[in-house]
Amino acid sequence: MKIIYLFTLILFFAVPKALALPGDTLFYDDFERANLGSDWSTTDSSRSGIGTQTSNSGTHSLYTRHNVVTVTSRTIDLSVNGAKLTMWVRKGDDAFSEDPEKSDEGFSIEYLNNNSNWVEIVSHDGDEDQPGDIINIDYQFPNDALYNNFQLRVRQMGGDGSDYDYWHFDDVNITETGYVAPPPPLIVGQCDEFEGDLSNWVVGDRVNITTATAQSPDHSLSINGGNTDATSIAIDTSSNFKELTMWIRRGSDSFSEDPDSGEDFIVEYLNNANSWVELETFLGSGTKGQIYNRTYAMPADAKHNNFKIRLRMTNGSGAGWDYWHVDDVCLVPVTYMEINKTSCVIDDPVNNTSNPKRIPGATIRYAVEVENITDFDTDNNIVTDNVDGNFDSTTIANLRIGDDACNCLDPGATSPNGANGTGNGTNPVKLDFGTVLANSKECGYFEVKIK
C-alpha cells in the first residue's frame, strides 16, 4: 500500500503547466501610479513614463514620445497551456499630447521568445492612423512565448524631439487561455473564421468576435457604432494569390442592430505602394440582415509581402448600434498545373529492344509529367490524351502513375492508373493522378503501337 501511495503522488506532481487555469490573469498593469516602478524598465526616462494625457481605464497610461525609446517588462512566467495579450493603444493628438505624423515615428509591440529573439506582435507607422485613433490589441501567443522568462516590450521608432510624437498604452493584460495560437498566422490558402481570437487583426474600438450571426460555424467579427476598423496583420501574397473572399452581413434588430444611411462599411487592401485601395463600399441604407458573399479578384499591386486587409466603418450612433458582421475571410491561392509530354521507342519488330526505331509495329511509351506549381495540394487531377490515327488504339496498355519526374526509358517504381482513369485499349487515354502534392511532380505512363 505504501508503494502505491507514493507512486500516485509522483504522478500528481508531474503534471506540467497546471498552476494557472483559463481566465487566470498572469500579468496586468493599468499604470495607475506616478512611475514605471519595478514592472518596467526604459532606455530613456525622458522619452517614456506614466502620464494623465489620456487613458482607457482610470486616469493614467504609459506613454512613449520624442524619439527612439524602448520600454520592457519584467520577466513573466508564461509556462502555461496558452496565453493571450490584450492591450489598449492610442495615437497622440494635439488635443491632449502631440501626434506622430511620419512613417518612422511609429511603434512596435514585441515579445521575447524562448530562443531569446524579439518577435513582433504588431507595428504601426506614424502616418498610418489618424491623430487620437485607438488600437485594441488582442493577440494569442504561439508556443515559443510559453516559458518562464517571457518579456514584453514597446518600442517607439523615432520622433521630432522634445514633447512631440506621443503613443499611449494602457491596460496591458496577459491571461491564461488553455490553448496555443494555431501556427501559422493568416496566409494565402487559409481563412479566418473568427472562431478563436483576433490575433490576425489589429482592431479599433467596438470591434470584437460575437455569436450574433455567422456563416460558419457560429462566430463572426462584429464592428459597430461608428468610425473604427479592423486591419489584418501583414500577409505575404507575393506568390499564388488569386482572390479574396468573405461573407458580410448587415446588422438587424433581431440579432444586433442595423446601420442607417451614412453608416457605411468599406473593404480595402494595402497595395505594394503602401496605399489603401477600396474594393467595395456597402451603404448603411439597405435591407436589415442582408447577406453579401463576395469574391474579389486581386490585381498585381495586391501581390507583395506586406499585403493587409482593412475592414472599416465610416459613421455610426455609438457603441451597441449600427452593426456589420464579417466571417470567413479567405485568401484564395492560384492553383495551376504544368503538363509536359515526352515519348521514347521501347521496341520494334526488327531490332526488338536493341536501338529500336519508330517503324510500323514499334511500341512507343509516352510519359506525361504534371507539376503542381503552387504551395498547396491539388486534388482530382486527370489528364486526357487522344491517341491519333497513326497508332493502333487497341494496343494501348501499361497505364501507370509514378511519384516523381518522368524518366521515359526507366519509369522506376509506379502504381496502377487511378480509379477514374482508363484501362488498356481505351481511347482517349485518361491518366488519373489523384492528389498532387504542393511543389511536386508526378508522371503518368502509357504505351501504344504504331500502325
Amino acid at 253: D
* Cα-trace Rg, the chain: 30
CA-to-CA distance for 76 and 327, rounded, in angstroms?
34
| Mean pLDDT, range 62-67, rounded to an integer | 97
| Mean pLDDT, range 409-438, rounded to an integer | 95
pLDDT at 112 over 50: yes
Domains and CATH numbers, the chain: 19-183 (2.60.120.260), 187-334 (2.60.120.260), 337-450 (no CATH)
Distances (CA, A) of 316 to 203, 261, 279: 17, 9, 21
Q: Which pLDDT band, with edges at 50, 70 and 90, does 16 fall under?
A: very low
CA-to-CA distance for 108 and 237, rounded, in angstroms?
22
Torsion, CA 222, CA 225, CA 231, CA 232, rounded to 10: -10
pLDDT at 188 over 90: no
CA-to-CA distance for 300 and 314, rounded, in angstroms?
27
Q: Cβ(335)–Cβ(374) under 8 Å?
A: yes
CA-to-CA distance for 305 and 409, rounded, in angstroms?
43
Position 56 scores a pLDDT of 96
User: What is the average pLDDT score of the chain?
Assistant: 90
Distances (CA, A) of 283 to 105, 164, 290, 303, 319: 34, 38, 11, 28, 19
Does the pTM exceed 0.85?
A: no
DSSP-derived secondary structure for 335-361: --EEEEEEEEEEEBTTTBTSS--S-TT
- Cell numbers at residue 417, please? 492508373
Q: Cβ(164)–Cβ(65) under 8 Å?
A: yes
CA-to-CA distance for 24 and 165, rounded, in angstroms?
35
- The H or E element spanning position 399 is strand 391-402
Distances (CA, A) of 398 to 127, 309, 345: 65, 51, 14
Q: Cβ(65)–Cβ(171) under 8 Å?
A: no
| Mean pLDDT, range 239-251, rounded to an integer | 93
CA-to-CA distance for 228 and 195, rounded, in angstroms?
21
Distances (CA, A) of 259 to 226, 313, 316, 322: 10, 10, 7, 4
